[in-house]
Structure 1
Amino acid sequence: MSEKQRLHPAAIFFTLIKTFKELIFSIGIGFFALKDAGLIYFVIGTCVLIIGAIVFSTLSWYRYTYRIEEEELRIEYGIFVRKKRYISKNRIQSIDLTQSVAHRIFKLVQVKIETAGSGIGTEASLKAVKLQIGESLREELKTLQKTNIETDESIDETVQDKPSQKITAKRLFFAGTTSGSIGIIFVIMSVLFSELGQFIPEGYYENTFHTIISFSIIIIVVLVLASLLLLWFLGIAGTMIKYGNFTITKNEDELFIARGLLEKKQTTIPIRRIQAVGIDESLLRQPFGYVTVYAEIAGGSMEKGEDFSTILFPIMKRTEVDDFLEKFLPEYISERNNLNGLPAQAKTFYIIRSTIVLILAIIAMLFFIPQFIWAPTILLILCMFMGLLRYKDAGFRINEEQLTLRYRVLNRKTVILFHKRIQSFERKQYLLQQKASIATMKTSIVSKYGAGKHYKIKDLAVGDVMELADWYSYRD
């Protein structure tokens, strides 16, 4: 790795595709603007753009080199202006390997290198290298020095001793079934359909509407249910594609996560970067006793499509969480089922806060459209129930240097964090809370992209908030 190396030639293809994605909108505008009188100019211009993109992609690949020298990853790039980037091994936080479908065709991998200050993009990204080279880079950059060379047998023995856990197909299917992604898919399809409507003849909607009206109620119901079933299956497929073959492995002071059926991702998480561990229980999964375990990671890059929280395991039984933490993060085991709850007077605040908007809507509808008063009334009952759930679930527990918080917006979330990870603590109390002897606490940590992650519990007893404030203020 000490000699200059180039990316795999397939990087030319990836750069070309990226360039065309950026130009496709401009090409579309040019086509509609010149399709009548200036079509020949459009064709010539498009050909020039294609040739220019090919030349640019080829030169970018040829001028891009990398090597490892003097405990640094050294990258040189730039067609006309030569740029050099040196990344010390000491600064590297994580090295991730990603394989898209195109990468898998060529048996390649993309290497993403992140440092503590990566900001809105990765510190370095090698678009296309051979899988063996990518793995060698990761291993060489992870350690400052290699003291000895292990035999194949000793490596195999070490791998076998590493704690590891893989998701089963049955659990993955259940995760997709209860993912709640049907709503997201419905919104996306609605937007696409509305945009598609611009290209559909005007009489098509009217004819379709009359055709549907001519059907019986039973057929309409069947069509609606079939559409919902299709969206449900799409949600299941999306979850299984994203988290297929999900495996987490602990290697000394790192967690290694591999996942994905179409696009394979391998993520390395240094344990020292974990700021908090959370347990998420959705409304659909909680009755069945299933949860998702995730972590808040400091640093990282704001790449498009990245999750704000890192999933440590997509789905498991609530009763299996302690065993999972014992295997991978034993210091985060907490007495989360024995929390200090909210005082009785807080219940009224939670119910009012959850229903005030609907109460105002009901009052307005009584004057204007009283015949539809039943709709917000049903929602009001559901919101009252949600307010009671939020009151019931909220709580905290202090255990020496460890703090456990639980709260609910829609999903119930339990967060375990440590005193040294907390960046700030805030106490708020408005007039009505003062009269009820309650207050709101908010604590913050550093999370992904260097941004702050905030945890808030409303309407705690004043004494409990003071206890939390004293605990935070104490320093050894």
Structure 2
Amino acid sequence: MSTVIDGQWHRLDPRTIAAVSTLVMAPMVPTVGVMLLSGKVQVALITSLIWVAGGLVIAGLTAVGWWFTRYRITAERFELRRGNLTRSHRSIPRDRIRSVDLTADPGHRLFRIAVVKVGTGGQAGDGAELKLDAIARHHAETLRQELLFGDAPTVDTHRQGATEAESTLARLRPAWFGYSALTLSLVLIVWGALGSAVGSFTELLDAMGVFRAVADAATAAPVLAVGVGTAALLLVGVGGAMALSVEMWWGFRLSRERGGTLRVRRGLLTTRSISLEQRRLRGVEIAEPMLLRWAGAARLNAIATGLSRSREDHQPENKTLLPPAPRAEVDRVAAAVLREPQPPTGTPLRRHPRAALRRRTTWALGCAAPAVAAVVVLDVLGWVPTWLAVSAGGVAVLVACAFAVDAYRNLGHGLTDEYLITRSGTGVRRTAALQRSGIIGWRITRTVFQRRSGLANVTATTAAGSSCYPVKDVAVGEGLALAEQAVPNLLGPFLERH
């Protein structure tokens, strides 16, 4: 038996106190520095004293929590005790442990410790996961190996970084970081952070004359100032998005370990190791945001049971198996993850009736109507030239129709011996390959307008992923036949045949 799993009660690593204190105190240096540059010496001194006092209080509370937190691992159970005034004693049977994930932020990495999350594979909740924050890094890896596979790695194996039975399914290629420039969510995060920084340091920027210089430049050459400002904003957004992508995905590696467990490792400043058992996998989903789709790229997500839906700030969800990558690579990795010779996501899909196109065109024109009405009002009031109003209204209608056609072309469904494939979406096109054996029910919905068009949404329900994977706006007869063929005798007894 290893020194980790000895049936004795252990405390967390005491370096946790130093890591938390460092994380709290680190922002004080730039904050006080900005105050000093602004000439507010007294405010900087008072802020420093308050910050140090707060840091000491937090360090004390962390020390108390560390003293009263203990864990024990026996041959049968994983147990965690914590709390003084309010005590908590939680335990998980070892045969129910399905994942052991490791995380280390810069503070933890500085002191060579890591956070260990032990999950049961059940739905996210208080009883589905135990968290050790934190233990020594080498201790955490040893614990992970023994809880998942029943034996701790030797020192040589740990230094090699992988066991002989581990196989690599995908590695990061530096060229993939270029796709982050097309990831609008990352660009918006950067712009939001930039706006927050400007608001926080308004006084300093004003004292340095930045606002005055910008106002003078805009007055002297407004067109040039707008052009330069727009270009600078785009450069900052793209550069920041690439920097965020590097931090999230640096060192990415997707591998398969013993017993078919999938493991994702990634992170530059904050390292993460996420585990997923093969038997919890019910399929995969390919997500293609519009800009990435135009560049021929996509992301790969797992459809699995028991994955936590909680998400850290600015971090991908635990279901993400592959960062933005070329579509061909995504299909290859999907086949490797599912252990299929060919990717089911590459199956030719059946198109949906033309009535689905009419529905989307109606929605699109309805969305464009307010813009057209606005330019008509502006033209009537004489605030804009007629030619500009007509052009703007025409562009709005054309863009709306283009989105409608794209949304219709993205509709599709298919069926293989093992998988149901559905595809829909325009802003983000999603293609899901769901194991037919993982379908536990069907939900048929029809709006008033769908009934008039002979259409329906046929949704497969499952215990994995987002729980519902719809085949949207399919002909009623075809949708019901698809459901019956995918899972025979599940829907059939409730149908009336005409």
| TM-score, with length taken from structure 1 | 0.83
Change (3 A) 1:375 1:9: farther
1:354 is matched with 364
In structure 1, what is the Cα distance between the partners aligned to 2:154 and 2:61? 43
1:90-134 deviations in Å (ceiling 9; x for gaps)? 222211111111111112211111221441697221112111110
State the superposition RMSD in angstroms.
3.6
Structure 1 stretch 254-263 or stretch 150-159: which is displaced more? 150-159
Please point out which of 174, 179, 196 is paired with 1:175: 179
Give 1:190 deviation, angstroms. Answer: 3.2
In structure 2, what is the Cα distance between the partners aligned to 1:197 and 1:47? 25
In structure 1, what is the Cα distance between the partners aligned to 2:171 and 2:251? 7
Q: Secondary structure of 1:345's partner? A: helix
Give 1:356 deviation, angstroms. Answer: 0.9
In structure 1, what is the Cα distance between the partners aligned to 2:301 and 2:220? 50
Query: Are the counterparts in 2 of residues 279 and 414 from structure 1 also a CA contact under 8 Å?
Result: yes
Query: Are the counterparts in 2 of residues 257 and 266 from structure 1 also a CA contact under 8 Å?
Result: yes
Q: Secondary structure of 2:227's partner? A: helix
In structure 2, what is the Cα distance between the partners aligned to 1:208 and 1:4? 63
Q: Structure 1: any 5+ residue segments left out of the alignment?
A: 22-40
Structure 1 stretch 111-120 or stretch 56-65: which is displaced more? 111-120
Give 1:418 deviation, angstroms. Answer: 1.5
1:240-273 deviations in Å (ceiling 9; x for gaps)? 1100110010113210110011111011111122
Structure 1 stretch 64-73 or stretch 438-447: which is displaced more? 438-447
1:462 paired with 2:476, answer yes
2:221 is matched with 215
In structure 1, what is the Cα distance between the partners aligned to 2:189 and 2:15? 34
Give 1:454 deviation, angstroms. Answer: 3.0
1:2-23 deviations in Å (ceiling 9; x for gaps)? 22222111112345568889xx
1:273 paired with 2:287, answer no
Change (3 A) 1:441 1:368: farther
1:38 is matched with none
1:366 paired with 2:373, answer no
With a CA cutoff of 8 Å and minimum separation of 6, indicate the structure with the bigger relative contact order: 1
Please point out which of 355, 362, 369 is paired with 1:345: 355
1:380 is matched with 397
Change (3 A) 1:339 1:4: same
- Alignment-mate amino acid for residue 271 of structure 2: K
Q: Secondary structure of 1:409's partner? A: coil
Please point out which of 92, 102, 113 is paired with 1:97: 102
Change (3 A) 1:199 1:467: farther
Q: Secondary structure of 1:159's partner? A: coil
Query: Are the counterparts in 2 of residues 163 and 328 from structure 1 also a CA contact under 8 Å?
Result: no
In structure 2, what is the Cα distance between the partners aligned to 1:436 and 1:74? 58
Query: Are the counterparts in 1 of residues 249 and 268 from structure 2 also a CA contact under 8 Å?
Result: yes
**What is the aligned length?**
453
1:368-402 deviations in Å (ceiling 9; x for gaps)? 55536344542332221111011012110122341
Query: Are the counterparts in 2 of residues 122 and 303 from structure 1 also a CA contact under 8 Å?
Result: no
In structure 2, what is the Cα distance between the partners aligned to 1:444 and 1:6? 43
Q: Secondary structure of 2:179's partner? A: helix
In structure 2, what is the Cα distance between the partners aligned to 1:212 and 1:154? 59
1:60 paired with 2:69, answer no
1:413-472 deviations in Å (ceiling 9; x for gaps)? 210002232344222223333333222223333346xxx443334321222211133235
Change (3 A) 1:66 1:335: closer
Q: Structure 2: any 5+ residue segments left out of the alignment?
A: 27-45, 491-498
Structure 1 stretch 153-162 or stretch 252-261: which is displaced more? 153-162
Q: Secondary structure of 2:256's partner? A: strand
- Alignment-mate amino acid for residue 283 of structure 2: A
